[in-house]
Amino acid sequence: MEHNTIKDKAAIVGVGESAYYKRGGSPVPEFGLACQAIINAANDAGIKVTDIDGLASFAMEANEPSRLAGGLGLRELNFCNMAWTGGGGVAAAVANAAAAVACGYARYVAVFRALAQGQTFRFGQGTTGPGMAGLMGFTVPYGLTTPAQKIAMRVRRFMHEHKITQDALAAVSLASYHHAQFNPRAVMYGRPLTREAYDNSRWIVEPFHLYDCCMENDGASAVIVTTAERARDLRQKPAYIMAAAQGSDYRDIHDSENVPDFPSANYKHLSRRLYEMAGIEPKDVDVVQSYDHFSGAVVITLAEHGFCHPDELMDFCTLENLTWPNGKLPLNTSGGNLAECYVIGMQLVNEAARQVRGDSTCQVKDAEISMMISGSVTTPASNLILHR
Amino acid sequence: MATETSGSQYYLPEALPPPHPAPDGRDLEFWEALKRHQIVVQRCNSCGNLQMEPEWLCHKCLSFDRGWQQVEGKGRIYSWVRIWHPVPAALKPACPFVVVLVELPQANNLRIAGNLLGDPQQPIEIGAPVEAVFEDHREKGYTLLQWRLAR
């Protein structure tokens, strides 16, 4: 590891979100949701909206920075940047903001994502248009068109190699629903899920039941990133960025069926780099937010971050272990993509920051170190660690 | 190599766009070969490395001198999914249906996706040997590569 590092040079100082809705439920368009989340994050941080001078996002965010800067009346826009890829880019967007403030490009960067599914793009609808070509061309003619189906192919192989059963997938799904019951922001607040209902829910694509797949929602989330130095004088306890990483494993080409390490979530080398930068081990992590587009991908991701060996997953990946307040590793403590809101994972950053600030609705006692992992399997991917 | 076609019945209704080679032409030969009932994979003319999906250069030796190698239509099921929720919705009458990822031992276990013909609710075993079936869509001018359990 080179000595040069972003460790502890920047912090998340504010978190904000719009109200979260079922798909089609938002009274304002996606652009309005983005503005609401950014305004709320600035208010939470105790800064003026016009103090924001940078914007960072990911996953082909459609609300582009000049319109946002104009709409929000920002005095200056000094940094704007988008991380490549889809849900794999969440932590990378935060890392880009951290680098920007640490290097002096900007003072306060709002990292955000807005999504009103269908207004610009509907992720679950996959790739079937006439423009489909290239790698998707090798699967779409056979009806393999969506992220759920493509990732199920990887998960099935992983389950075969490591003797994973449906129980591990169910635990991830039920953990998200459990945590959503404490979070009034969550779309599934007041709608608990039982194992029986999980088992009886329809298949989307084997091995994914309905409840193994994330929701489609309207919502936006944002955080404010600034330097560690400025963070100390602001209203909230800073969530310091302890480490961040982005990239992909050897020839882990997005949408390819010929990835050398196919039954993988693409986190083997990224997790090693992340822990090296943070100077910690998996046992030091108090709480994890791991992008739960599909439960099975989270199962692989937990193993690839060293929380257990892949062959120990059936013992580790249980509802008891993954749930607040008594679990060994509380997972997706605001309800995640499955039960809080699918903002392509941005809302998981808000929750990771809340955990080290101490104001989560499922607050892990004395949480010091909080991990956020972006969309598994999608590449390039990214992850980060926060500390208080 | 199995050369018979699956007859007039297609495994899936023609609700999907036909195979659409990449506009830059890098995978065109794969689709053209299927029309001749041949399976080809990219082979580097410099170092002999086999590669799928096709790309403009060899990832081993970085040569742009690309060729193709024909392989037999025999493989093993590497992974599979059974799809119950169709996208696009026009596939609904075909649900459930099975997509297999087949590895080709003759080609360094490179993988190709296709449908597994037969009862869509059949039990499926990873590692099971399969053979190629070429599904000609003559009116639309393309051929799909399907698979069935080896006899």
Spatial CA neighbour of A82 closest among A384, A385, A380: A380
Comparison of pLDDT for A26 and A125, the residue scoring more: A26
What pLDDT is attached to residue A127?
A: 63
Sorted by where each begins, the domain ranges of chain A are: 10-121+213-387
Contacts of B107-111 with CB under 8 Å at 24 or more apart are B107/B41, B107/B50, B107/B52, B107/B69, B107/B71, B108/B50, B109/B78, B110/A258, B110/B41, B110/B50, B110/B51, B110/B52, B111/A257, B111/A258, B111/A262, B111/B52, B111/B78
Cis bond upstream, residue A2 (ω within 30): no
Nearest residue on chain B to A126, alpha-carbon basis: B87
What confidence tens digit (pLDDT) does each residue in B43-101 have?
999 999 999 999 999 999 999 999 999 999 999 999 999 999 999 889 999 999 999 99
What pLDDT is attached to residue A122?
A: 75
Cβ atoms of A236 and A13 within 8 Å: the answer is yes
What confidence tens digit (pLDDT) does each residue in B5-48 have?
444 579 999 888 888 888 899 999 999 999 999 999 999 999 99
Map out the domains of chain B with their CATH numbers.
Answer: 28-149 (2.40.50.840)
Instruction: Give mean pLDDT, residues A364-387.
Output: 96
- Residue A125 near chain B (CB below 8 Å): yes
What confidence tens digit (pLDDT) does each residue in A294-315 have?
999 999 999 999 999 999 999 9
What confidence tens digit (pLDDT) does each residue in A247-265 have?
999 999 988 999 999 999 9
- Cα A356 to Cα A141: distance, rounded to the nearest angstrom: 47
**φ, ψ at A150 (rounded to 5°):** -65, -40
Mean pLDDT value across chain A: 95
DSSP code, position B147: E
What pLDDT is attached to residue B6?
A: 44
Spatial CA neighbour of A145 closest among A129, A167, A163: A129
Q: Give the closest of A143, A146, A203 to B16, CB-based.
A: A143
- Residue A4 near chain B (CB below 8 Å): no
Among the residue ranges A2-16, A43-57, A116-130, the one predicted with the least confidence is A116-130
- Residue A293 near chain B (CB below 8 Å): no
Residues from chain A contacting residue B126 (CB–CB below 8 Å): 156-157, 160
What confidence tens digit (pLDDT) does each residue in A198-232 have?
999 999 999 999 999 999 999 999 999 999 999 99
- Residue A130 near chain B (CB below 8 Å): yes
Closest-CA distance, A236 to chain B, in angstroms, reads: 45
pLDDT tier for residue B1 given thresholds of 50, 70 and 90: very low
Residue B100 falls in which region: left (phi positive, over 0), alpha (psi -120 to 50) or beta: beta
Comparison of pLDDT for B14 and A176, the residue scoring more: A176
pLDDT tier for residue A85 given thresholds of 50, 70 and 90: confident
Report the percentage of chain A scoring pLDDT > 70: 98
What pLDDT is attached to residue A148?
A: 96
What confidence tens digit (pLDDT) does each residue in A43-73 have?
999 999 999 999 999 998 999 999 999 999 9
Q: Give the closest of B12, B53, B81 to A138, CB-based.
A: B53
Residues from chain B contacting residue A156 (CB–CB below 8 Å): 79-81, 126
- Cα B51 to Cα B44: distance, rounded to the nearest angstrom: 8
Q: Give the closest of B53, B78, B80 to A256, CB-based.
A: B53
Comparison of pLDDT for B24 and A36, the residue scoring more: A36
Q: What is the ipTM of this complex?
A: 0.94
The yes-or-no answer on residue A189 being catalytic is: no
Sign (positive/negative) of CA torsion A295, A15, A49, A22?
positive
pTM exceeds 0.90: yes
Chain A contact probe: residue of B83, B121, B126 with most A CBs at under 10 A: B83
- Residue B80 near chain A (CB below 8 Å): yes
- Cα A238 to Cα A243: distance, rounded to the nearest angstrom: 15
- Residue A84 near chain B (CB below 8 Å): no
Residue holding tokens 């170092």? B47
- Cα A289 to Cα A355: distance, rounded to the nearest angstrom: 10
CATH class (in words) of the domain with range A10-121+213-387: alpha beta
